[in-house]
């Protein structure tokens, strides 16, 4: 039978935070496509049908799991009533906003020292 032990982590010196990681293009594109589709109150099936792809594939694009070709991006832009240039400008704007937020967070001084965390549960095999 396994026993459970509570392990409290030692206090550590504050670690310098890693530089903010940029989001992937496909993730930002996917969020933008989903926003456009939802603003038009459309289902995945409706938008996907007009773009000539399956709803499952569109869902994966929107979740940032698939990297669509430039032709597919243009087809989705058209299905959503915008142009490739318009969609690209929107994604670029989203990237700029995310970068500004990340930089602002990284520049903020931490008000408190190292954070105390709760216990960590471990299972010990007998």
List, in order of start, the domains of the chain with CATH numbers: 25-107 (1.10.260.40)
Distances (CA, A) of 38 to 22, 28, 30, 41: 25, 15, 12, 5
Instruction: Please name the residue that has the structure tokens 């490739």.
Output: 84
Q: Supply the pLDDT for residue 102.
A: 83
Q: Supply the pLDDT for residue 80.
A: 98
Alpha carbon distance 73, 93 (integer Å): 17
Give the predicted TM-score (pTM) of the model.
0.69
Q: Supply the pLDDT for residue 38.
A: 98
Alpha carbon distance 19, 103 (integer Å): 9
- List, for residues 5-54, the tens digit of each pLDDT value: 666 566 655 555 556 577 899 999 999 999 999 999 999 999 999 999 99
Q: How many CB atoms lie within 10 A of CB 86?
A: 13
Q: Are the beta carbons of 71 and 47 closer than 8 angstroms?
A: no
- List, for residues 73-126, the tens digit of each pLDDT value: 999 999 999 999 999 999 999 999 998 888 888 887 765 545 545 554 444 455
């Amino acid at each position: 039978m396994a026993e459970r032990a509570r392990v409290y982590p030692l206090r550590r010196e504050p670690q310098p935070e890693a530089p903010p990681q940029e989001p992937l293009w496909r993730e930002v594109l996917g969020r933008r496509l989903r926003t456009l589709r939802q603003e038009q109150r459309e289902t995945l099936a409706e938008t996907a049908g007009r773009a000539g792809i399956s709803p499952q594939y569109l869902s994966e694009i929107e979740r940032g799991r698939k990297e669509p070709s430039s032709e597919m991006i243009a087809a989705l832009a058209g299905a959503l009533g915008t142009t490739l240039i318009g969609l690209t400008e929107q994604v670029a704007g989203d990237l700029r906003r995310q970068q500004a937020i990340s930089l602002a967070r990284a520049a903020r001084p931490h008000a408190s020292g190292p954070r105390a965390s709760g216990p960590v549960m471990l299972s010990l095999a007998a």
